[in-house]
Chains A and B, each alone.
Chain A
């Protein structure tokens, strides 16, 4: 079974600064996906960024980038130029790569990191 660990329950950052959220995972799979999801207060969960394990290059989406260290099973999220709207709970999640003929797409989530961006 896969497990995802987020060791920082809460973090805060000043507006316009950079913050890094940590995530580690445990799996025996060689091919998989990793995700960061954002859940703002009283709003729905949205995908921030996705990384495929077989890709060496770290994914980036505008101000969001990841540092994927496959050997260390580490997947951190860096938010640059933090904005007030980035205040949310951030979840790291894992999904096994689907095999031919199988279609399970279970996301396994960590416990989350509450990020607060201060003005």
Chain B
């Protein structure tokens, strides 16, 4: 079965510009996650979707970050405007459902550099 797909793999932008990342989860996976991984740190959850509804966005900086999962499949994460501290790898993950008994499968990530 195909894994979690993400694009682009790399992105370099100037601060105050906008950027969007795309994620296609494993087919049939109802739960989708976006994590932010700053260099030298473990990933931090930004947002969790169950189908097309938001379950947890408590750590999403809502003044500049937004995410959507239309039709409960693909998802996009947007940053507008970007700040230097947004430089990180953005990981998308998916699972059959919520909970610790459903393994989260991670994509390769999008490495964002903000100059």
Decide whether A and B are members of one complex. Answer: yes
Contact digits for B90-113, partner A, Cβ 8 Å, 1 yes 0 no: 010101011111111011110000
Contact of A45 among B40, B95, B106 (CB under 8 A): B106
- Interface positions, chain A 66-112, Cβ under 8 Å from B, are 91, 93, 95, 97-98, 103-112
CB of B42 within 8 A of CB of A103, answer no
Asked if A16 is at the interface (CB within 8 A of a chain B CB), the reply is no
What separation, in Å, do the CA atoms of A70 and B98 have in the docked complex? Answer: 24
Interface residues on B, range: 20 to 34
Summarize B's interface: helix, strand, loop or mixed.
loop
Q: How large is the interface on A (under 10, 10 to 19, 20 to 34, 35 or more residues)?
A: 20 to 34
Q: Are B104 and A97 in contact (CB under 8 A)?
A: no
Q: What are the residues of chain B within 8 A of A15 when measuring CB–CB?
A: none
With A44-B106, A44-B107, A97-B100 in contact, do A106 and B48 touch (Cβ < 8 Å)?
A: yes
Query: Are B42 and A98 in contact, with the CB atoms below 8 A?
Result: no
Residues A103 and B55 in contact, CB atoms below 8 Å apart: yes
A-B contact pairs, 17 of them (CB 8 A): A35-B100, A44-B4, A44-B108, A45-B91, A46-B106, A47-B103, A47-B104, A91-B43, A103-B50, A104-B55, A105-B48, A105-B99, A106-B45, A107-B45, A109-B44, A111-B42, A112-B40
The 4 closest A-B pairs by CB, nearest first: A109-B42, A33-B100, A103-B98, A45-B106
Partner-B contacts on A (CB < 8 A): 4, 32-33, 35, 43-47, 50, 52, 91, 93, 95, 97-98, 103-112
